[in-house]
Amino acid sequence: MKRFTALLLSLTASLLLAGCATVAPPPPSAQLFQDELFGQPDPDINAGQIFALTDEMKKYAQTLAHSRARREPQLILFDALYKRDQLKLEYDATMTRNAAQTFEARRGNCLSLVVMTAAMAREMDMSVQYQAVTTEETWSRTGNLYFASGHVNLVLGKSRMKDTHNVEPNQFMVVDFEPPAETRNLVTVPIPEQRIVAMFMNNRAAESLARKELQRAYWWARKATQADPTFFSSYNTLAIVYQHHGNLPQAEAALRYAQQLQPNNTIAMFNLVQVLDNMGRTLEAAAIREELARLEPYPPFHYFNLGQKAMKEGDYKKARHLFAREVDRAPYYHEFHFWLAVASYYLGDMKTADKHMKLAMDNSTTRSDHDLYAAKLDRLKFQERQRNAYSN
């Protein structure tokens, strides 16, 4: 299973001010939201629970805050949460947990870990600044839904009661939950907490959508747009909810507004093509499809889908070549390694099959995927031992 690396870096105060001003688009029209189509939201769909701490968490934070260790409070918190001999939090992308759920489960995805760390840091009277890391989006899929993920980290400062004009060494530290090689030297942009709230709610919307819970998906996406009206992804998710609910004009409206936020975003363009095709507006869809092909001739999962087709046709050599191309583009996505292992197995290349099945297991993001790949790897090794025994 994928192991996160919690990276801690020193940061000077001046870097916290980096960023750029943007001109906000007009607010979305009220007609963009069709609450009456989705009933009343469940009580748990609210922002109040995201950062809320349980009594156990508060007690733990206060114990850390009064630690006699002569170290920066950021280091004390960091070690307590992520060292193997203490809480030992694990990476798990099964769902986006709030702070309390992450603490109780001792696991969470990147955003869950950021949320819980921020909540604990504030309980210890530290300042918290969130940052968006400007890196390429990573992709995953559940069935026929494809998910693009960005990356955020956070900057922890010493006690907010201290004089921040007198900058001490290590006064500010970055906590990042990606391997250092992936985030080193990348540009970061400070983002407000309402963006983190919108990201959390949008994640919950996408997870509900994957479970076909359209009412919950709508309300999570709706609340995300309220938390941060300029967050592109929430309108894109809202559009997909409308599309799956059969409300195509509303889906188009949400995507058109998303394009005002990010005019050349290929995700919105791709989804708009599907909506226009479903509405019978094939000429409009064809024009956008042509522009999309120019902007992104080889979209995410392009070679993977061709590889799947080759597998069905029994052309395992071609499939292996195509899966290898996807691995080159996304070396940490477990499913690409899995199918490269399968194609290699059918070609009789057990060494390559073993290698990529292990990589699939190591890069898996849920315990269920890890256990599945581990079982398949054990079977591959068993078959290889049998083959060697017969050859001898």
pLDDT given at position 130: 96
Residues 184 and 288 in one domain: no
Element (H, E) at 174: strand 172-176
Residues 11 and 147 in one domain: yes
Domain assignment of residue 41, yes or no: no
Q: Dig out the tokens for 94 from the structure.
A: 């099964």
**Do 4 and 178 form a contact (C-beta atoms < 8 A)?**
yes
Q: pTM of the prediction?
A: 0.85
Residues 66 and 83 in one domain: yes
Residues 11 and 145 in one domain: yes
How many whole angstroms separate alpha carbon 343 and alpha carbon 225? 43
Lowest-confidence segment of 17-26, 90-99, 253-262 by average pLDDT = 17-26
pLDDT given at position 71: 79
pLDDT at residue 211 above 90?
A: yes
Question: Residue by residue, what is the 3-state secondary structure of 190-239?
Answer: EECHHHHHHHHHHHHHHHHHHCCCHHHHHHHHHHHHHHCCCCHHHHHHHH
Residues 11 and 158 in one domain: yes
pLDDT tens column, 320-336:
999 999 999 999 899 99
Residues 57 and 177 in one domain: yes
Residues 268 and 321 in one domain: no
Residues 379 and 348 in one domain: yes
Task: Give 244-286 as a DSSP string.
Answer: HHT-HHHHHHHHHHHHHHSTT-HHHHHHHHHHHHHTT-HHHHH
How many whole angstroms separate alpha carbon 284 and alpha carbon 368? 42
| Structural domain range at position 242 | 212-296
Domain boundary among 247, 267, 296: 296
Lowest-confidence segment of 150-159, 239-248, 278-287, 346-355 by average pLDDT = 150-159
Domain boundary among 296, 327, 354: 296
* Residue 313: CATH number of its domain: 1.25.40.10
The more confidently predicted of residues 266 and 139 is 266
pLDDT given at position 5: 47
Residues 13 and 159 in one domain: yes
Angle between helix 232-245 and 193-210 (nearest 10): 20
Residues 291 and 307 in one domain: no
Q: Stretch 49-78: mean pLDDT, rounded?
A: 89
Residues 360 and 284 in one domain: no
* Backbone angles phi and psi of 293, in degrees to 5: -65, -30
3-state class (DSSP) for residue 107: strand
Residues 291 and 306 in one domain: no
Domain boundary among 264, 296, 328: 296
* Backbone angles phi and psi of 205, in degrees to 5: -65, -45
* Backbone angles phi and psi of 158, in degrees to 5: -65, 180
pLDDT at residue 59 above 90?
A: yes
How many whole angstroms separate alpha carbon 60 and alpha carbon 121? 11
